[in-house]
Amino acid sequence: MNGTASRKRGWLVFGLCTFATLFILGIGAVSSDTQRWLLPLVGPIMAVQVVTVVQRLHDAGRSGYWSWLTLIPVLGLVASMGINLLRPAPGAFAAPGHRVAQGLGYGLLAAFAVLCVLRFFVGAFWIPSGSMKPTLLVGDYILVPFTDAADLQRGDVVVFRHTTKHFDFIKRLIGLPGDTVQMVGGQVVLNGTPLPQAPLGAFTEPYDRQGPSHHLPRCQAPAPAKGGDCVKPMARETLPDGRSYAVLDIEPNGFADTTAIFTVPPGHLFFLGDNRDNSMDSRIAPANGGLGFVPFENVIGRVSRVVFSAAGESLGDVSTWRDGRNWRPVE
Give yes or no: residues 186 and 105 share one domain: no
Q: What is the pLDDT, as a whole number, of residue 31?
A: 66
Query: Among residues 321, 227, 198, 215, which one has the least CA distance to residue 278?
Result: 215
pLDDT band at 74 (very low <50, low <70, confident <90, very high): confident
pLDDT of residue 95 exceeding 70: no
Give yes or no: residues 298 and 154 share one domain: yes
Q: What is the mean pLDDT of residues 141-157?
A: 96
Q: What is the pLDDT, as a whole number, of residue 11?
A: 96
- What integer best gives the mean pLDDT of the chain? 90
pLDDT band at 258 (very low <50, low <70, confident <90, very high): very high
Residue 61 in any domain: the answer is yes
Give yes or no: residues 244 and 158 share one domain: yes
pLDDT band at 87 (very low <50, low <70, confident <90, very high): very high
Give the range among 10-19, 61-70, 291-300 with minimum mean pLDDT: 61-70
Q: What is the mean pLDDT of residues 75-88?
A: 93
Q: What is the pLDDT, as a whole number, of residue 43?
A: 82
Distance CA 227, CA 322 (A): 17
Q: Is 171 a catalytic site residue?
A: yes
What are 153-172's pLDDT values in tens digits?
A: 999 999 999 999 878 999 99
Distance CA 112, CA 93 (A): 26
Give the Å distances, CA to CA, from 168 to 103, 129, 154, 242, 297: 39, 12, 20, 29, 13
Query: Among residues 181, 184, 193, which one has the least CA distance to residue 281?
Result: 181
Give yes or no: residues 38 and 161 share one domain: no
The helix (H) or strand (E) run that includes residue 128 is none
Residue 232 in any domain: the answer is yes
Range of the domain at 30: 7-118
Q: Write the burial class of residue 156 (CB in 10 Å: 0-12 exposed, 13-18 middle, 19+ buried).
A: buried
Q: What is the pLDDT, as a whole number, of residue 314?
A: 76
Distance CA 242, CA 240 (A): 5
DSSP class per residue in 299-325: EEEE--EEEEEB-SS-TT-GGGBPTT-
Q: Is 226 a catalytic site residue?
A: no
pLDDT of residue 268 exceeding 90: yes
Q: What is the pTM of this model?
A: 0.82
Q: What is the DSSP letter of 89?
A: -
Give yes or no: residues 152 and 294 share one domain: yes
pLDDT band at 101 (very low <50, low <70, confident <90, very high): low
Catalytic residue among 80, 171, 279, 309: 171
Q: What is the pLDDT, as a whole number, of residue 279?
A: 96
Give yes or no: residues 215 and 257 share one domain: yes
Residue 40 in any domain: the answer is yes
Give the end of a domain, one of 64, 97, 118.
Answer: 118
Q: What is the DSSP letter of 272?
A: E
Q: What is the pLDDT, as a whole number, of residue 185?
A: 95
CB within 8 Å of 194: residues ≥ 6 apart? 184, 187, 188
Query: Among residues 85, 36, 42, 43, which one has the least CA distance to residue 60?
Result: 85
Q: What is the pLDDT, as a whole number, of residue 94?
A: 57
Domains contained in the chain, number: 2
Catalytic residue among 80, 131, 279, 282: 131
Distance CA 33, CA 40 (A): 14
Q: What is the pLDDT, as a whole number, of residue 34?
A: 67
> Which one of 64-73, 101-110, 275-284 scores highest in mean pLDDT?
275-284
Give yes or no: residues 162 and 30 share one domain: no
A 10 A CB-CB count for 230 gives: 20
Residue 266 in any domain: the answer is yes
Give yes or no: residues 200 and 294 share one domain: yes
Q: Write the burial class of residue 251 (CB in 10 Å: 0-12 exposed, 13-18 middle, 19+ buried).
A: middle
The CATH code of the domain that includes 162 is 2.10.109.10
Distance CA 47, CA 62 (A): 19
